[in-house]
């Protein structure tokens, strides 16, 4: 990166990446180099771009092997050792890999994202600068009624007519909010005064009427251990669609960065399943032919737990 790059406007997803090649003695992940400064579009105006990273699959192994010293006979196989670390929750070596992302996202998504505390972040400041006129409009395919089963989720999708009406309302409202924002600031998006005859109010005040759908930006940096925790929660079907789609993009990037780790992460965490003490007792007896799922209650499972266990085991309850 040269100083000149810094003066350029914030890049957009559509821009060609600013990429300058240098030499380094550091570990390099070829798959990740291909992502550097590439702005991947997410949602209608958002993006994700890798700005920097540290480490690769081999550097995770290097940390682990230092720790085990000469006591690691039988762990010469790289893939086997990485899977062993993942399976046994030996998390420290994964902390040795770090990723720094530039993300543009709606404020209501940002509010979920910042709940992950073990990360560094720097957000665009609406006290220093005027917020660009950009807000999130869901795709019609994402507009759905409240779920009946899931207190925090979506159910059936709206009819095309209802969707169109919802989007019309949301858009009209957001446009009016931004128009008011500029009127209160008495400044346009570029900071030019609109009406020389009157004062605008301070930026930190004018923004309080902007909607939660307004786009903001951040640099977000975390280590691979905490990234996997983020992905377990946010690439999960229970996560809100608008953050899940960011998480899924990051999971794709991770697969290019640390492919062996990502495979192990899927096998031992993302697609693994935890059986409670009661689940386990029931499954044991089912395998021994001593019980069926119908006995779940007497093993201490609630109806909901029995239903969820049946789903995980591919049994019709």
* 108-147 footprint of a second copy as x/- string (CB under 8 A): x-xx--xx-xx-xxxxxx-xxxx-----x-x---xxxxxx
Q: Report which of 75, 78, 97, 101 is spatially closest to residue 27, judged by C-alpha positions.
A: 97
Q: Calculate the alpha carbon distances from 264 to 84, 90, 260, 270 in Å.
A: 9, 13, 6, 9
Instruction: Kindly state the tokens that stand for 214.
Output: 């307004």
Annotated ligand binding at 23? The verdict is no
Of 12, 164, 168, 284, which lies in the binding site for a second copy, with binding defined by CB under 8 A? 284
Near a second copy in 288-317, by CB under 8 A: 288, 300, 302, 305, 312-315
Of 40, 45, 182, 207, which lies in the binding site for a second copy, with binding defined by CB under 8 A? 207
Choosing from 83, 154, 234, 307, which is the catalytic residue?
234
Counting residues that bind a second copy (by CB under 8 A) gives 145
Distance of CA 205 to the CA centre of its chain: 30
Q: Catalytic: 168?
A: no
Annotated ligand binding at 123? The verdict is yes
Q: How far apart are CA 265 and CA 258, in angstroms?
A: 10
What DSSP assignment string belongs to 241-258? HHHHHHHHHHHHHHHHHS
Q: Calculate the alpha carbon distances from 7 to 11, 138, 183 in Å.
A: 11, 33, 29
Secondary structure letter of residue 298 according to DSSP? G
Near a second copy in 49-108, by CB under 8 A: 51-56, 58-59, 61-72, 76, 78, 80, 87, 92-93, 95-96, 98, 100, 102, 106-108
Q: Calculate the alpha carbon distances from 65 to 59, 72, 142, 248, 260 in Å.
A: 10, 7, 47, 31, 17
Q: How far apart are CA 235 and CA 249, in angstroms?
A: 9
Near a second copy in 237-276, by CB under 8 A: 240, 266-268, 271-276
Q: How far apart are CA 248 and CA 43, in angstroms?
A: 12
Near a second copy in 11-40, by CB under 8 A: 19-28, 33, 36-37
Annotated ligand binding at 115? The verdict is yes
**Residue 298 vs 312, nearer CB to a second copy:** 312
Q: Report which of 229, 315, 228, 232 is spatially closest to residue 273, judged by C-alpha positions.
A: 232
Annotated ligand binding at 224? The verdict is yes
Of 13, 140, 255, 278, which lies in the binding site for a second copy, with binding defined by CB under 8 A? 278
**Residue 138 vs 250, nearer CB to a second copy:** 138
Q: Is residue 205 a contact point for a second copy (CB under 8 A)?
A: yes
The torsion defined by the Cα of 77, 82, 84 and 87, in degrees rounded to 10, comes to: -160
Annotated ligand binding at 238? The verdict is no
Q: How far is the CB of 16 from a second copy (least distance, A)?
A: 13
Annotated ligand binding at 189? The verdict is no
3-state secondary structure of 306: helix
**Residue 14 vs 197, nearer CB to a second copy:** 197
Instruction: Kindly state the tokens that stand for 309.
Output: 């266990």
Near a second copy in 209-238, by CB under 8 A: 209-214, 217-219, 221, 223
Near a second copy in 140-199, by CB under 8 A: 142-147, 151-155, 158, 162, 166, 169-170, 173-174, 176-177, 180, 183-185, 190-191, 198-199
Q: How far apart are CA 102 and CA 267, in angstroms?
A: 28
Q: How far apart are CA 284 and CA 313, in angstroms?
A: 13
Annotated ligand binding at 219? The verdict is no
Mark the binding-site residues for dUMP, compressed into ranges. Answer: 112-115, 123-127, 207, 234
Mark the binding-site residues for FAD, compressed into ranges. Answer: 92, 115-117, 123, 223-225, 229
| Catalytic positions | 234
């Amino acid at each position: 990166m040269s100083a000149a790059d810094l003066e350029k406007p914030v890049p957009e997803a559509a821009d060609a990446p600013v990429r300058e090649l240098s030499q380094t003695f550091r570990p390099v992940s070829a798959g990740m180099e291909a992502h550097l400064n590439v702005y991947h579009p997410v949602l209608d105006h958002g993006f994700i771009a890798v700005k920097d990273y540290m480490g690769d699959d081999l550097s995770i192994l290097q940390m682990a092997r230092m720790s085990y010293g000469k006591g690691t006979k039988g762990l010469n196989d790289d893939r086997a050792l990485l899977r062993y670390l993942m399976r046994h929750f030996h998390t420290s070596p994964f902390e040795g890999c770090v990723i720094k992302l530039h993300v543009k996202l709606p404020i209501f998504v940002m509010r979920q994202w910042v709940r992950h505390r073990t990360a560094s972040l720097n957000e665009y400041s609406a006290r220093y600068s005027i917020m660009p006129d950009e807000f999130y409009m869901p795709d019609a395919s994402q507009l759905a009624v409240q779920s009946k089963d899931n207190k925090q989720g979506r159910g059936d999708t709206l009819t095309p007519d209802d969707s169109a009406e919802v989007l019309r309302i949301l858009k009209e409202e957001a446009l009016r909010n931004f128009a008011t924002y500029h009127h209160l600031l008495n400044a346009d998006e570029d900071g030019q005064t609109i009406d020389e005859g009157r004062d605008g109010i301070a930026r930190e005040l004018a923004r309080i009427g902007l909607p939660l759908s307004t786009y903001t930006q951040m640099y977000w940096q975390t280590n691979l251990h905490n990234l996997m925790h983020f992905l377990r929660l946010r690439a999960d079907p229970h996560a809100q669609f608008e953050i899940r789609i960011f998480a899924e993009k990051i999971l794709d990037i991770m697969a290019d960065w640390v492919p062996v780790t990502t495979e192990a992460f899927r096998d031992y965490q993302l697609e693994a399943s935890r059986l409670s003490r009661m689940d386990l007792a029931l499954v044991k007896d089912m395998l021994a032919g001593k019980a069926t799922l119908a006995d779940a209650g007497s093993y201490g499972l609630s109806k909901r737990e029995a239903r969820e266990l049946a789903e995980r085991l591919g049994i019709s309850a």
